[in-house]
């Protein structure tokens, strides 16, 4: 059985044209492996976890694997990582399926794919900090992940539940791209 616990709700606030005050949401996944997502200091990995993924590169200790994430990468039963480029080319989302059968709950720990829930109604919030060349891909990734998950844990805000109205908003944004 997997348990997902948000340890710290991230935030982001634009201070001026070229300054933002932000910190990442930090999420703990408890199960056969203990996994921390967005530690705020990802390069302190030796203290935290055996297997460490920064963007779509896979590292174990000081070993850097040549393999980059192209498809889903299974960390353990119920936890996988999928590439979701958009904010940057290296962005990934951690997918967690907790529970079994009808009691299964799907979480998507999205990093900057979703800055915060408010960026669904106001896409300028994510577009202004993303990579212009990747906007269409990010729009598509956002819709794919929203349709998968019951809950989204964004990079800079509290967890929120998905619903049909949010999916429709994203579908309308995809049509406009």
Protein fold of 3-175: Metallo-beta-lactamase; Chain A (3.60.15)
| Rounded-to-integer distance, Cα 142 and Cα 113, Å | 6
SS3 at position 127 = helix
Tokens at residue 67, please?
């393999």
pTM (predicted TM-score): 0.82
> When comparing pLDDT for 164 and 63, which is higher?
164
Pairing label, strands 57-60, 51-54: antiparallel
* Residue 44 pLDDT level (bands cut at 50, 70, 90): very low
List helix spans (H) across 67-158.
118-121, 124-127, 135-148
Summarize pLDDT for 47-86 with one digit per residue, the tens: 445 575 656 566 666 666 665 666 678 888 999 999 888 7
Tokens at residue 96, please?
């967690």
Return the domain boundaries, the chain.
3-175
């Amino acid at each position: 059985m997997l348990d997902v616990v948000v340890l710290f709700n991230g935030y982001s606030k634009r201070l001026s044209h070229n300054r933002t005050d932000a910190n990442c949401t930090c999420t703990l996944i408890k199960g056969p492996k203990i996994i921390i997502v967005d530690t705020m200091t990802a390069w302190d990995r030796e203290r935290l976890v055996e297997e460490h993924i920064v963007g779509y590169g896979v590292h174990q200790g000081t070993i850097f694997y040549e393999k980059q994430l192209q498809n889903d990468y299974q960390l353990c039963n119920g936890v996988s990582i999928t590439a979701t480029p958009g904010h940057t080319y290296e962005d990934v989302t951690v997918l967690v399926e907790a529970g079994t059968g009808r009691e299964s709950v799907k979480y998507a720990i999205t990093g900057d794919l979703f800055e915060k829930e408010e960026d669904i109604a106001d896409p300028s919030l994510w577009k202004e900090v993303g990579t212009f060349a990747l906007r269409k891909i990010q729009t598509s990734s956002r819709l794919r992940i929203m349709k998968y998950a019951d809950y989204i844990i964004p990079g800079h805000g509290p967890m929120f539940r998905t619903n049909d109205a949010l999916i429709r908003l994203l579908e309308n944004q995809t049509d406009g791209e």
